[in-house]
Structure 1
Amino acid sequence: MTTIKICILDKALPLNEEFYDKLVSNLKAQNITITYCRRPNEDSKNADIIILAAPMSTKIFSFNQIVLGLRWINRKERLLIADKIMSPEFMARWASPESEEELTETLAAWDTDEYIFKYDSSAGRRGVSLINQKTGQIPENYSSEKDIIMEYLNDDPYTYKADMFCGVLLNSWFLRTTDINHEEFNNYTSNPTNFDLPADVKMQLEELSRELMKYGSGYISIDLMKFNGHYKIIEINTNTVGRNISWKHFSDNYLVTYPAGIKELLETYTVAPTFETLWGKFRTKDWIKSI
């Protein structure tokens, strides 16, 4: 049997080395060998599969490698993929209107004047704003190819998160975040707490995670909010996930579930295209039509 070589590349390795040591040990006990490094080295050069904790320059990869974690798809494209997989009740309504007229039509269909605006590049709750169409406008540098508007979900301000890896739920937890109108809106790192994700949501998120493998995603973190009795996807993060909050607070969970995800990867890795395939596909301008 051919041994598949896996290497994790993490630029913030000094912060996570203890976690990775335990991860490698847990996998070794299951007869699975992986390596990890901070910078490209012989292990990453010879790996069949590279797992990125954060995007890196594409110049360091070989065309025949599978690389999980490069940011090939933007905010809008990730939600388009989710729309294919998830039941409508598990998706917040969103759009990328191409004109003021289309924006007006969308808000009329939603029966509201208010909407959340999100840049593709927004992170850490920055680049997100609540806009009232009667008094404000979409920012001038808005791009309908990657930025979005979303319905304002104002039932429960908490952010519920589902961390996934290649079709496996790693952990579900929530942050006691505040409403977007609150002065503490950007203070989102305190008091992370585990919760049980409903089985029907979990099953569809697992399918979504497997689908995103086809677009070069491995470790993803899905943000949800509760509204009208349902957990609804508001965001899908596909890079720089896991390390800053969840691993620190729930490391025992991830040291069990992440190995399970890597075992699943070894069973299903052929779903993920090679770097060469993705490089060719995403350099074309009309690839999004295939979603």
Structure 2
Amino acid sequence: MVADADFSDYLQARWPLLVAALEREGVASAEARLAVAEVLVANRRGWRRLVDEESVDVHVWRALRERTGLPDQPGSTPPVTTVGVDPTRPVDRPEPWLEQAEALRRSRRWRDVWRYLLGLVAAALVVAALVWWGSRPDVREETNPLPVPWYAGEELHLAEVVVELRDVDSFVAFGDGAAVRLEDGEVIEVDGGGDVSALADPPQDLLFPPSLPDYLPFGRYTYVVQGTVLPDGGRAFVLDSRRGDRNNSLQIPASSHRVLVLCEPDGSCREAEGGIPAEGFRLR
């Protein structure tokens, strides 16, 4: 190609002159050679346009002075000398220095790519953190009056905190908090401090709810609405005073009443003080 031929001609004609000119400005020999090689390599792809649109010597000399930290001299060109007169001109060939410049250029390009990718990853993490921060549930400190997690009014009540949590399908006690399955199928863990995280290995009771614990002393409460086992081996029940069979085949009468009953491991039971803490109360 014409551009390649022009570049090769310029390289052979100007290589010794450019190196010698930098050395006369106080640039070390190896640094001068590498600087010339890097500037020429950087301009090789657009050489044809450079030849057509600018003074090549002015452009190259300006780039060399900038790369080596020399003061700018607008419009200047390297001083012209003759090989036979100037003994400071290099006699080594430019090709090894061009190869080194190419290698450095590739290395910098890959480094820039990695920096760009790392920047994208960092930006994605920041966005994810902002999304999480904006969507994280509200948490407030409040002592649970019951010995078991419960849910009502889009709030999950743990031992020491209340966590605002919408679209809860089911939940069970898990560690010092609860394992929760949302209506969209996502499973999360809410720890005792209210922090929420994904839960890859949920407890079996959450995925496959066991049958309701038995409750025998019904008295005037004839229907077990919900039941769960307490951490100490006791049991908690939500009972309803509705009339009808225990398969919930009848609608709840307007006069029905619900209570929370806590049973000790020995079977003794008592009605929780204050009754049901909130409308829509759930044990699971």
TM tier, shorter chain? under 0.3
**Bigger RCO (CA 8 Å, 6+ sep):** 1
| Structure with a larger share of its residues in strand | 1
What TM-score does the superposition give when structure 1 sets the normalisation length? 0.16
What TM-score does the superposition give when structure 2 sets the normalisation length? 0.16
